């Protein structure tokens, strides 16, 4: 779904055309190009953002502060996303380059074998700072994604438990994460589209900033283009949110039961 989404964001093709083109040219494996970079991104970005978020919540509880409201949850989620995304930007950059590489002219294609090769090549040819190209829009996207995703998840759980019809179990976690993934996808996709365009930038002059790129997309392709790729985006973000949040909750309960 990441492959389809990124290729839709850097072209005018529909989801079906992107999938057909990939299967026709290189087969099913073309839909998994950049997998090593995607895994590296999860290892660096996701573990950091979730760890920081939970640590901040634990701190609030240990200090016996009032239960956070939705605004406070958003603030904690945004801070966690910013920290995690800064650490994960190099892997994110490698993923974008690997997925969009085949659409470049043959002379410009790098054909990276894996994420480590991509990162080393970028560092060697463009310098270590280039590994954080697009860091600001990535951090901006992460602030929105995590602020909405994690705050909506936590707040939905609290609201549902307060009704008296739900208790802390996998079903509650499933409902909360499914709703959280939908809200996050709807709000964050325009920022994600702008971030992808900046990372994919190949013009000789400097790309515009996050909001400049959003305005550029609106002027040249109309506002609806900001939500191009919503179906693959949510098809990835929905299950990803559900599996991630349920796994985190269950692993935390396991840890507290046997080691905490």
| Residue 255 in this model has a pLDDT that exceeds 80 | yes
Assigned token pair, 65: 């502060």
| Angle 56-150-9 from CA coordinates, rounded to 5° | 130
Q: What is the pLDDT of residues 142-186, one digit of tens each?
A: 999 999 999 999 999 999 999 999 998 999 999 999 999 999 999
- The pLDDT of residue 206 is 87
Residue 96: CATH number of its domain: 1.50.40.10
Pick from 26-30, 123-127, 199-203, 246-250: least confident:
199-203
Number of domains the chain is built from: 1
| Angle 127-40-225 from CA coordinates, rounded to 5° | 80
- The pLDDT of residue 108 is 85
Rounded Cα gap, residues 194 and 228, in angstroms: 11
Rounded Cα gap, residues 220 and 43, in angstroms: 36
Q: What is the pLDDT of residues 186-229, one digit of tens each?
A: 999 999 999 888 988 878 888 888 899 999 999 999 999 999 99
| Residue 65 in this model has a pLDDT that exceeds 80 | no
What residues make up the domain containing 151? 2-258
Residues 6+ apart with CB under 8 A from 31: 3, 4, 19, 22, 23
- The pLDDT of residue 94 is 95
Q: How confident is the model at residue 63 (pLDDT cuts 50, 70, 90)?
A: confident
Report the predicted TM-score, pTM, of the whole model to 2 decimal places: 0.83
DSSP 164: T
- The pLDDT of residue 64 is 64
Residues in the chain: 260
Q: How confident is the model at residue 139 (pLDDT cuts 50, 70, 90)?
A: very high
- The pLDDT of residue 152 is 95
Q: What is the pLDDT of residues 36-53, one digit of tens each?
A: 999 999 999 999 999 999
Q: How large is the average pLDDT for residues 50-77? A: 85
Pick from 82-91, 102-111, 112-121, 144-153: least confident:
102-111
| Residue 257 in this model has a pLDDT that exceeds 80 | yes
């Amino acid at each position: 779904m990441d492959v389809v989404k990124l290729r839709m964001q850097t072209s005018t093709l529909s989801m079906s055309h992107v999938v057909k083109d990939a299967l026709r040219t290189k087969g099913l494996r073309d839909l998994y190009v950049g997998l090593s970079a995607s895994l590296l991104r999860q290892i660096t970005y996701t573990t950091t953002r979730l760890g920081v978020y939970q640590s901040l919540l634990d701190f609030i509880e240990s200090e016996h502060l009032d239960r956070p409201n939705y605004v406070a949850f958003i603030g904690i989620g945004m801070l966690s996303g910013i920290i995690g995304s800064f650490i994960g930007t190099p892997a994110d950059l490698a993923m974008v380059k690997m997925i969009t590489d085949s659409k470049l002219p043959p002379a410009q294609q790098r054909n990276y074998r894996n994420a480590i090769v991509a990162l080393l090549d970028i560092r060697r040819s463009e310098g270590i700072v280039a590994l954080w190209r697009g860091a600001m829009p990535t951090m901006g996207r992460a602030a929105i994604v995590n602020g909405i995703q994690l705050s909506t998840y936590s707040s939905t759980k609290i609201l549902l438990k307060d009704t008296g019809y739900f208790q802390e179990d996998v079903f509650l976690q499933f409902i909360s994460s499914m709703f959280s993934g939908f809200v996050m996808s709807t709000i964050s996709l325009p920022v994600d589209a702008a971030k992808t365009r900046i990372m994919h930038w190949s013009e000789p002059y400097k790309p515009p900033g996050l909001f400049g790129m959003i305005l550029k997309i609106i002027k040249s392709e109309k506002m609806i283009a900001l939500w191009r790729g919503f179906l693959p985006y949510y098809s990835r973000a929905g299950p990803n949110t559900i599996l991630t949040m349920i796994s985190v909750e269950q692993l935390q309960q396991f840890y507290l039961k046997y080691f905490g």
